[in-house]
Structure 1
Amino acid sequence: MFEGRDEEDVLHLAMAAVASLAPCTAEAGYLRGEDGWVRAPDERDGAPGTDLDDQVAALGAEDGIVRVPGRNWCEAIALRPAGTTIGYLVVSAATRISDEEHFLIRALAQQTSAALGNAAGRRAEREHASALRRAHHDRGKAIAQLRESVAELEFQKSVHEGLSQASAESEEGIADMVRAFTGLPVAIEDPFGNLRVWSGPGRPDPYPEPGLVRHEQEVHSGMRRAGPVRAGSRLTCIAQHRGKVFGTISLIDPGRTAGAHEEFVLDHACVALALEMSHQRRLAETELRLRRELVEDLIIGTDDAGAYARSEAVGHDLHGPHRVVVVQWEDKPTDAVADAVGRSATGLGLKFLLGRRSGTTVLAVQGAAAPHALHEAVAEALDSGAGSVGIGGRADSPAAFPRSYEEAVRASEFRRHSSTPEGATAYDELGFYRILASGEDQRKAEEFVREWLGPLQDYDAEHHTDLVRTLSLYFDCGGNYDTAAAVLMIHRSTLRYRLGRIREVSGHDLSEPDTRLNLHVATRIWQVVDASA
């Protein structure tokens, strides 16, 4: 019984030994289970029914007499290895057994109790050892998982710290940091697919321009999904902040080696990039607004000290000579014109402040303004030459900017109403027209125009003709019939007819030198006055 057997084996051995000790039969053996007494398996024929189970359960863990059909004596002996009943041995006989036989059966029960206690102890030891092994194994797994978690957290911490440091170095720093963590080339593009930053080897030259439709599909796909998105040889993440897309950052991964760590780095770099791009855009918008407000204040008048301080804040040196430039374009939106003017002025190497005023784009240019080159550059950028550029006089201090602005407006208007409205005109180039442009003696000038052109002006107003303009362009073309007719887009004979009507209506002989001079001056003054109006 004590040779490493379990409880059921011990109970079966005890039941088998009963017959050798007394003229008795072992009817059943019971062990304590979770829900009460459990009868040991018994394959013998004629085993008692469940009524015996109920009788044993009613004994309350004590010894007791029970009844078995066909037997005159039957006792359930409690098995108590340490004062606690852990089982029963049920023994019966045809007649009551002797005291000596009963003593032997009790001795067997005591040995069985000890063996059961021993078996239970060994089972408990085995279970404890098994639990220790499981705990040791679980502890090993927990330690391994903890080490993995610590390593992962340390990696994530290094990524956060690296990207935080890289963000201070702008987009280039972020791209370099991502490449350092992943070992893969990195590309940062704007929302339209144009390359902004490349870090690592293998940069394509020239860099491919993605098709608009494909690029928009990639962006929309990235916006619908959280985290990086695989697109061919690239793992791409959309840099967006508060619903605005600022660009993309991609790992160039033709071998598809990027895993969870690389995706983590790319995802967090995307957040840092979005914040950096958003910050840069806000700075640019703020600087643009400050520049526009400064230009507007300069041309309406502001104090010198405040203007100098504000110009320094936006990175422009307002000291030294400046000129105000006014740009107007006939067939383009104001925003498009302002953008083209800014890019063109930058391309020409001009140092300037850009603003807007009354539907025009206004520049405050340091030093030479390069008006003709500016007009050509803007015309190329807008794919249209239908614009005028007016340049004001020199302004040596902020107090002089309103005057330079007014001069630029007059120069621009003079250009727009001249025979060649497309191009650039500097106020300093207007010659004697500057007197009219500045408003000095304008009443006398208007009287002079009425004296020489009054009849023609009245005739034009009454008959809806254009004799004053015809005469003006005729003089501007040096009195050349062919050139004037081409500018007016009329036949040469039509021009002769109009000049004849001009002689009749005005009463002036165009062949007289003094008359021609006065009429020419009058038409030039008329151009300036009409432009100002």
Structure 2
Amino acid sequence: MTVRPQRARPGSPELQALVDELAERLGRSVAVDDPLVRMVCTSRHFGDEDPVRIGTLLQGRADNATIRYVLAQGVTQWHRAGFIDGRDDLGLLPRYVVPLRERGHLLGLLLVVVPEKALAEHETRAIARAADAMAAQMYAEHVATDTRRADERDLVLELVGTDAATRTAARRRGRELGLLGAAEHVLVTVVQLGGAAEPVRHSEAALRAALDGFRQTRSARGLIAIGTERATMLQLRDRPPGPDEVAAQSARVLDELRTFLGPSADPVVGVGGRHAGPDHARTSYEQALVAARAARRLPALRRAGDWELLGELAVLFQLPEHALNTSLVPRPLRTLTEAHGGDRLRDTLRCFLEHAGSIPRTADALGIHRTSLYYRLRRIQETTGLDLDDGAHRLTLHLGLRIEELLAPGADGAA
């Protein structure tokens, strides 16, 4: 699956004309970016182009380092125009930045390349007039786009909702609109933000931008529902994706969100099971929520959970949050932990169980002689009172070890 870095939707002819008119009047390069610093419209060069501008024109958006730098200047919270400094290491000249706002909405950023970091009064007046016209034009386009997005959001939420009749009606409507087609497989991905440091509109825009690259690929068609701190993407596929493809998609989404929102957003991704057709979107959605919960609790998952790789943990993560506590750890395992040398015995037990009770493989993995391993296993049995040759006893101990992983200090709370 090929996914290219996503740029904002190209600007309308009306917006492009306003950009070109301002650039010609100033004799300077001008661009309009969306609130995530992705190019919407740009003028021709005036001999002031820098590597960032050239790279943006070639790739459709600036590189992540430049985006992070510009956003770190706080431009999305600005209410008046100002300069941002250039960065030689990024190949960025100074820019005069005007936040384009209309009726409380930040619609984009007007950027003028100003190498000398100084503008004449007639230039700032021209920029201010053009910015007002651009904001008005972008707001009109924004309203129309928001309506379409709201319709798509409602359809997705109905397809994964709890009411069966509503899901049936949504599938019918989706097919009538040509949004569902005849895809044989469905996959639902949930993205959750852990912090609320960013303004709601900025968080929503970042979630959409991170997922837009997967709306239409060679192997999938996607529908997206964006909320304030959560996004749901329903993908329709001709074939189910493999674990590597899912992992790459999740990693890309997380990378984009960290670029647009910074580390404080603490995003996680949960991917549901692969199922036959949109009739099973609800099931995949529920599984995606479980996978997202696992991603937030288990550091080893690196903030991305895949239902189909969770194994027995998928069952544990469907327990209520209040039930995930030390009372679930079997008493024999707690007794082992409290015994002298308990940590070494627990490590031996875990290795033994992970190797399906194989003495040779366990001894090799631990780097000890088999005689030493037999001694430790006898101690484990004596301390716990359980028989390691008994399948039910093994299951009790193995499940207890898994629960301890979920309760480890490095695991977070509920997603």
Give the TM-score normalised by structure 2: 0.53
Which runs of structure 2 are paired with 1:91-490 in the superposition (5 Å)?
169-178=13-22, 182=25, 184-185=27-28, 187-190=30-33, 196-202=40-46, 204-207=49-52, 220=80, 239-242=100-103, 246-248=108-110, 269-301=130-162, 302-307=166-171, 309=173, 316-317=179-180, 319-320=182-183, 321-327=185-191, 342-347=208-213, 349=217, 351-355=221-225, 361-367=231-237, 368=240, 370-381=245-256, 382=258, 387=268, 389-397=270-278, 399-412=279-292, 420-422=300-302, 426-428=306-308, 456=332, 459=335, 471-472=349-350, 474-476=352-354, 480=362
Once residues 333 and 156 of structure 2 are traced to their aligned partners in structure 1, the CA distance between those partners, rounded to angstroms, is 40
Cα offset, 1:323, TM superposition: 0.9
Name the SS of the counterpart of 2:49 in structure 1: coil
CA distance in 1, matches of 2:387, 2:14: 75
Q: In the TM superposition, what are the counterparts of 1:510-521 in structure 2 within 5 Å?
A: 510=388, 512=389, 515=390, 517-521=391-395
AA aligned to 1:365 is: Q
Q: Against the structure 1 CA distance between its residues 523 and 509, is the aligned structure 2 distance closer, same or farther, given a 3 Å change threshold?
A: closer
Deviations 1:167-194 (A, max 9, x none): 96242232235567x4945513447887
Q: Structure 2: give runs of 5+ residues left out of the alignment.
A: 1-10, 54-65, 83-93, 319-327, 368-372, 407-413
Q: 2:109 & 2:236 partners in 1: Cα distance?
A: 34
Native 8 Å contact 1:329 1:388 kept in 2: no
The aligned counterpart of 2:411 is none
Larger Rg: 1
CA contact (8 A) 2:330 2:400 kept: no
Note if contact 1:184-1:200 (Cα within 8 Å) is conserved in structure 2: no
**Alpha-carbon distance in structure 2 between the residues aligned to 1:454 and 1:257:** 72
User: C-alpha distance in 2, partners of 1:263/1:280?
Assistant: 25
Q: Which amino acid aligns with 1:408?
A: A
Change (3 A) 1:243 1:344: closer
| Deviation digits for residues 100-126 of structure 1 (CA, Å, limit 9, x no counterpart) | xxxxxxxxxxxxxxxxxxxxxxxxxxx
Q: The residue matched to 1:300 in structure 2 has which SS?
A: coil
CA distance in 1, matches of 2:101, 2:139: 8
Change (3 A) 1:366 1:528: farther
1:414-464 residue CA offsets vs partner (Å, 9 max, x unmatched): 677779444655445567x5996899xxxxxxxxxx9xx96526748999x
Question: RMSD between aligned alpha carbons?
Answer: 6.0
Q: Is 1:503 matched with 2:381?
A: yes
* 1:270 to 1:438, Cα distance in 2 relative to 1, 3 A: closer
SS at match of 1:204: coil
**Identical-pair percentage:** 19
Amino acid at match of 2:232: V
Q: CA deviation at 1:405?
A: 1.9
| Residue 240 of structure 1: how far off its partner (Å) | 3.8
Q: Distance in 2 between matches of 1:406 and 1:268?
A: 50
Is the 1:388–1:422 Cα contact (8 Å) retained in structure 2? no
1:65-88 alpha-carbon deviations (Å, 9 max, x no partner): xxxxxxxxxxxxxxxxxxxxxxxx
Moved more, 187-196 or 401-410: 187-196
Measured at CA, do residues 251 and 259 of structure 1 come closer, stay the same or move farther in structure 2, by a change above 3 Å?
Answer: farther
How far the C-alpha of 1:270 sits from its partner, in A, is: 3.1
CA distance in 2, matches of 1:198, 1:293: 34
The 3 A distance-change label for structure 1 pair 342 and 199 is closer
Which amino acid in 1 is paired with 2:283? R
SS in 2 for 1:366: strand
With over 3 angstroms needed to count, the CA separation of the structure-2 counterparts of 1:198 and 1:422, relative to structure 1, is closer
CA contact (8 A) 2:251 2:304 kept: no
Is the 1:393–1:408 contact (alpha carbons within 8 Å) kept by the matching residues of 2? Answer: no
Paired residue secondary structure (2:42): strand
Q: Distance in 2 between matches of 1:473 and 1:354?
A: 43
Q: For 1:170 and 1:237, how far apart are their aligned partners in 2?
A: 19
Query: 3-state DSSP class of the match of 1:303?
Result: helix
Task: Kindly provide the amino acid, as one letter, of the partner of residue 30 in structure 2.
Answer: A
State the AA in 1 paired with 2:284.
Answer: S
When the two structures are superposed, what TM-score results if normalisation uses the length of structure 1? Answer: 0.44
- Matched residue of 2:160: which SS? helix
Show CA shifts across 1:304-359 (max 9, x none): 3434536987x954652211124467789797997666544444646433447997
8 Å Cα contact 2:23-2:30 kept in structure 1 = no
Aligned 8 A contact 2:95 2:112 in 1: yes
Question: Counterpart of 2:252 in structure 1: which amino acid?
Answer: A
The Cα of 1:391 is off from its aligned counterpart by: 2.2
In the alignment of these two chains, the number of paired residues is: 327
Q: Structure 1 residue 503: deviation in Å?
A: 0.9
